[in-house]
Structure 1
C-alpha cells in the first residue's frame, strides 16, 4: 500500500478534469495513477501524468442535479456526467461508501459495457484504493467512477444465448466474432448478436468468485495469443472482469453471482468485437520477474499496457506475465519513439 500521499496528490490534479475527451475517449489517468501506486511505483506517478496531460480535458458543465427521485431519467445520458458525479459525491459524504456501492452496483451492472468498459474499470481501481486507505480524495475518485458509469450506462440486450464449454478459456474460444466491417465500440457492441453462456448456472457466491478469477486468468492468458486482433481494445476482455473481481469483497455476497455473469458478458462481448481470425503462438523473448514486467510497462507508458500489466500481476503466473510483455511489444507507446 502506498502511504506517500502521492495518489491523493494525483487525484487532486485529476478531479478537475472530465472522464472523457473527444466525444467518448476515456480519461485513463486516475486508473493508471492508482495502478502505479499499488505496484510500488508511486515515484513515477507525476512523471507519467505530465506525459499524459495533453489528453486531459476540463471537467464538464452540469446540466441539472440528479436526485433520488429523478435518477432513472438521467441514467445513460452522457451529457449528465457532472450531474452524476455530483450526485455520488453527495451520497458518499452522507453514507459509508460500501453502502452506496451496494445500492448502485446492481443498478449499474447491466450497463457494464458502457464506455468501452472503462467506467467499471475505474470503479474497480477506486475500490482497491479505498481498501488500502479511506480518505476524501479516494472517495471523490469513487464518485467520479460511479458517475461516469451512470452517465455512460449502456445495457447489452437482444443476445442469442449459445452453449459454452465448461472452462473460461474454452468459452472464450467459442465466442463467435461479429460479422461485417463495423467501426467504433458502440456500433460494434450493437452488432454483437450471440454469445456463449458460461457459468450461467452458478449461484453460490464462493463458486462465483472462483469462476470470476478463472475468467480473469483465461482472458489475460489469451491476450498473448490473440491480442494482435486489436492490441488496445482486447485489453478490456481481461481488465473489465478483473475490476469486478476487485470489487467483490466490498459488495454483499448475494451480488457476487450476478457480478460474475455481467463480467462474462463484458469479456465475451469485447472478444466478439475484436478477436483476430487466428491465434498466434507466442513465446516471450526471455523469462522476467513481475518487477521487470512492471518496469517495462512503465517505460513503454501506454495506459492500456500499464493496466493490463497490473491485471497480469494479479494473476501472477508466467503466462500472464507473457501477456503483459506481448502488450508492450504490439502497442503504441505513450510517447512515440519512447519504446
Structure 2
C-alpha cells in the first residue's frame, strides 16, 4: 500500500484525497492542517487514522510515504521543504510555487536530497490530452500551427483567495496555467510572448496571451477572474484539427477532424480522470525508484513558472503601471 499524507483540507485536498482512498493499492493515512479540528474532520471522511494540527507533524509521521501538498501556492515551498527534509515523496498542486524563485528552490532541494517531486498538473494525465499528445508526437496530426484555449469565470467575492495577493492570487497562476500548459505541452517554449490584461485588487484579473514560435506557430490564450470564458480549446495542425470540450484541461470529449472532413469522436472512460492518472504516476515512478516524472518533468514545471512570472509582470494596472 502506498500511504499518503494530505497537507491542507480545502476542496482540492478533499477531491484528490477521495481519489487516493478509492485506489486498491493506496490509502490516506494522515491529514495535516493549521487547524487540528479541520484535519480531524477530513481524516475521518477519508478513513485516515492520524490527524495533525501542523504540517511539521504530518511529515514526521512514519506511516506516510507521500505528501500531497494542497495548500494555496503561497505555502507550497514551506510544506514541500518540510516533506523533502523528512525524506517524503511530494506531489505538489499546480502551480509548483507562487514564484519562480520558490519553485527553483523546491526543485533544487528535491534533487539534492534525491527525493521524488512532481507538480500535480492533472491536465497532463487526462487520457484524451495524452492521446492528442501521442497523435502530435507520431506525426499523425501534422505540424501544429495554432492553438486557442481559454479558462476563466467571474469571482465576485473579493475576499476569495484568488483575489488575495498574499495567497498567490490572480487569474494566471490558478487558471491561466491551463491554457499556457496546453501550449507548452504541444509547442514547447515560445520565442515571443505578448500579454495584455488588467490588474484589480492587486492581482492580475485577466490576461490575453499570444505566444509566437520560431517556425511560425502561434497560441492565442485567455484567462479571467471577471468574465465567463468558454473553457474550450482548439488545436490545428497541417493534417488535423482537434476540438476539446470544456473544461478542456479535464475534457471528457475530443473531436478530431481530418483533411477530408471526416470527424472522429473520442470520449473519456468513466473514472479515468487526470487525478487518477497523476496519483498512479507517483505510484509507478516510486516503484521504479525514480525521483522525477517523464510525463510532468520538473524542468517543464520550472519553464512554466518562468512563463507565468513573465506574463504577470506584463499585466498593467488601471494607471498603466506594470504589475
TM-score (norm 1): 0.27
Structure with the greater alpha carbon radius of gyration: 2
Q: Which has the higher helix share?
A: 1
Q: Which has the higher strand share?
A: 2
